[in-house]
Amino acid sequence: MDLTYESTNQVKELKANLLVRDFELFEMKPGKNIAEMSTRFTNLVNLLKALGKSFKEAELVKKILRSLLKSWETKTIVIFYTKDFTRYTYDELIGSLIAHKIILKKEIIKKEKGKKSISLK
C-alpha cells in the first residue's frame, strides 16, 4: 500500500513539474489570436491550481505580457509603464488586448477603403 501511495505522489509530482515547466515556457503561438492564447493559458493555470499552485494576479498579467509576440511589443511596453499591477487583473489585460486588436483591424480596413477610393478617382 505504501508503494502505491508513493507512486501516486511521484506521478503527481511529475505532472506538477511538467505543468510548471509549461507555465515557465508559455508563449503566444504565431497565427493564434489573444482569445486562443488566453484559453490555453487559463487551462494551464487551472491545472496548476488543481495541484495546489497559487498565483498572484500580477504574476499572471506579467507572464502574459512577456509571452506576447513581438508584434505586440508597443502595447506591452505601454501597459508595463502605465498600469498598477497591484490592481490590474488578468481579465482586464485580456480585454484590453482584444480591444486593441479590434481597433487595429478597423484602422486597417479604413485605410484599405481609403486606398480603394483614391484609386477609383
- pLDDT tens per residue across span 79-116: 999 999 999 999 999 999 999 999 988 888 887 877 76
- Cβ neighbours of residue 37 closer than 8 Å, sequence gap 6 or more: 28, 29, 64, 67
Q: What is the per-residue pLDDT for 23?
A: 97
The pLDDT of residue 10 is 87
Task: Indicate the Cα dihedral angle 38, 58, 101, 107, nearest 10°.
Answer: 180
pTM, to two decimals = 0.81
Residue 69 near residue 97 (C-beta atoms within 8 A): no
Determine which helix (DSSP H) or strand (DSSP E) holds 69, and give its type and residue range.
none
Rounded Cα distance, 1 and 82, in Å: 56
3 pLDDT more than 80: no
What would the pLDDT profile of 22-77 be if each residue is shown by its tens digit?
Answer: 999 999 999 999 999 999 999 999 999 998 899 999 999 999 999 999 999 999 99
What's the confidence (pLDDT) of residue 116? 65
